[in-house]
Amino acid sequence: MLERKEKLQAKKEELEKKLLDPAVQKDNQALQMYSIAYHQVTSLLEKMSQLEELLEAIEKTRPLVSEKDPELSQLAEQELERLQKRVDALEREIKMLLLPKDPADEKNVIVEIRAAAGGEEAALFAADLFRMYANYAEKKNWQVEILSSNPTDLGGFKEIIFEVKGRNVYSRLKFEGGAHRVQRVPVTEASGRIHTSTVTVAVLPEAEEVDVDINPEELRIDVFRASGHGGQCVQKTDSAVRITHLPTGIVVSCQDERSQLKNKERAMRILRSRILELAQKEQAEKITESRRIQVKTGERAEKIRTYNFPQNRVTDHRINLDLYNLQAILDGDLDELLDALESNYIKQKLEEGLLLPF
């Protein structure tokens, strides 16, 4: 720890000189790069100092556990437990900061939820998952905006696409992409039999115009009248928009807004994110097998989680984790689950030796 702190301090001083260099100050890209690195190193030094203080506090508190006074001994045990939890959390934060930064981590996300196998029951569970993410976003003070939806008569969704805006949204939700399986008695089932249905979730970092270069000449834009349940027309004007990206064949439709302009803007946001995802996937295919295994955890066709209602159990198959608080998770209490996925991600990266050189 001490040796690494000395290296970090030297790196901090080096970055301070870089940031004061007139040539760097004139180069926005270089200035941004060095500023991010400086912030990362400073944060690491602060957290390492906090960790040292906590470890010192633990050493001072530990002898008190053996005190003859039962009340004092109990208080010391409670304090040790509190300090150890903080140490564990800080160690995880430090390891995260030592990993190479994913440039998408701080981005907003576009989440696409689609009913797959299971008919109306899958559509109802798609609505449950949307509420789960919306509740979690509310706990994190993030904003949720529905971009497109295809509701069913019973209150489910064949498809719902929404944006989540806030701090470090992608870093928390990026592990949610994949197939989510539900096992329960559907409201449409009279005999009380347990059914298994599947919903797919895709989590895309929001692509800005600078991230994806789209040639307007390669787009086909069609307008049509928005339709409701059963295909009936719900608007008298052609406000719905369908955009086809000709080189990739990606098609996006939006009809939730009454304004054609707003529907087009929403469709373009979704299209940019899908094109960025496609480009990232193609890039991932060209790199090493170990990295490709990492990318695979985000594939939407891969079953990642099961929600078993009879057993009140949520199982994440990627890390073999069982949690017996299903309703709390569906109400948006996702931190324990996401923390476990993040810890597994850190462990894999450490095993691969993917640490910053300081």
Query: Could you tell me which residues come within 8 angstroms of residue 197 by beta carbon, excluding any fewer than 6 positions away?
Result: 115, 116, 117, 118, 119, 121, 122, 125, 181, 182, 186
Beta bridge partners of 251: 244
- Is 134 a residue whose pLDDT tops 90? yes
pLDDT recorded at residue 285:
61
Predicted confidence band of residue 333 (pLDDT cuts 50, 70, 90):
very high
Structure tokens at 104: 């998408």
Residue 125 CA to residue 217 CA, distance in Å, equals 39
- Is 227 a residue whose pLDDT tops 80? no
Question: Which range, 26-40, 75-89, 230-244, is most confident?
Answer: 75-89
- Is 191 a residue whose pLDDT tops 90? no
pLDDT recorded at residue 133:
96
Query: Could you tell me which residues come within 8 angstroms of residue 183 by beta carbon, excluding any fewer than 6 positions away?
Result: 194, 195, 196, 306, 307, 308, 309, 310
DSSP notation for 243-289: EEETTTTEEEEE-SSS-HHHHHHHHHHHHHHHHHHHHHHHHHTTS-H
pLDDT (mean) for 180-207: 83
pLDDT recorded at residue 208:
63
- Is 231 a residue whose pLDDT tops 70? no
pLDDT digits 0-9 by tens, 14-66: 888 988 988 888 888 788 778 878 888 888 889 888 988 999 999 988 888 88
Q: Give φ, ψ of 267 to 5 degrees.
A: -60, -40
Query: Could you tell me which residues come within 8 angstroms of residue 207 by beta carbon, excluding any fewer than 6 positions away?
Result: 272, 273, 275, 276
Task: Select from 164, 112, 87, 102 the least CA-distant residue to 345.
Answer: 102
- The amino acid that residue 354 corresponds to is L
Lowest mean pLDDT segment, chosen from 94-98, 147-151, 175-179: 94-98
Q: 146: part of which helix (H) or strand (E)?
A: strand 143-151
The rounded mean pLDDT for the chain is 81
pLDDT recorded at residue 298:
33
